[in-house]
Chains A and B, each alone.
Chain A
Amino acid sequence: DGGITQSPKYLFRKEGQNVTLSCEQNLNHDAMYWYRQDPGQGLRLIYYSQIVNDFQKGDIAEGYSVSREKKESFPLTVTSAQKNPTAFYLCASRVGMNTEAFFGQGTRLTVV
């Protein structure tokens, strides 16, 4: 079955550490997205990529970095520069403007 796989489901980070969240899709979608969700709030766009080897900052990119070396993979690194990283992170992919986005199951990141 086609879909998006995020891993791990839960992740704990110590102060000052970088951590990388994995996102893999086998839907053959060009566009991929990373969102952050805080409790009781909507989704905010961190980074997006419309094609392999290209990505752009979203609304809250500070303290995050991404890469898009393969069409199916769009990992997100939460760096030590992100001062409040505890949140639920969602990866999505999409074919085009009039189509739905498909989401992974999310990664819950907690700073310990």
Chain B
Amino acid sequence: GNSVTQMEGPVTLSEEAFLTINCTYTATGYPSLFWYVQYPGEGLQLLLKATKADDKGSNKGFEATYRKETTSFHLEKGSVQVSDSAVYFCAPSLDTGRRALTFGSGTRLQVQP
């Protein structure tokens, strides 16, 4: 069946380091793809999205490209800041029956000064 696999955390980086969080999925079609961010004690906020193959979503220095061939949507940022410390969720739109997003397990990022 359809599923999403996200890189396990926590990921600990120093400020200004390069970030990659891997996300792959299995699907019968070409779902829309989303990354969400969750700060402590808060709800989820949309970080970026891509709706078709080769689209690149970007926001606040984060980027992710819709790779149809590898069914992946890896999140990257060239230079992380302490304020980027949060939990990141990959969420492809796999559940066509319920029209619900399918969430990965989340990756906690800790950025040290």
Which residues in A have some Cβ–Cβ distance to B below 8 Å? Answer: 6, 31, 33, 35, 40-43, 45, 48, 50, 56, 58, 90, 92, 94, 96-106, 108
Contacts and interface: CB of A to CB of B under 8 A. Distances in A.
B31 to A, nearest CB: 8
A6 B44 CA distance: 13
Nearest to B36: A103
8 contacts: A40-B106, A42-B106, A43-B44, A96-B99, A98-B32, A99-B32, A103-B36, A103-B45
Q: Find the residue from B36, B91, B101 having the highest chain A CB count within 10 A.
A: B101
Given A42-B105, A98-B32, A48 B100 contact: yes
A56 B98 contact: yes
Interface in B6-61: 31-32, 34, 36, 41-46, 49, 51
Given A42-B104, A105-B43, A106-B42, A100 B98 contact: no
A110 to B, nearest CB: 13
Nearest to B52: A98
B42 A105 contact: yes
Contacts of B96: 97
B89 to A, nearest CB: 7
A43 B103 contact: yes
A103 B44 contact: yes
Contacts of B100: 33, 45, 48, 58, 94
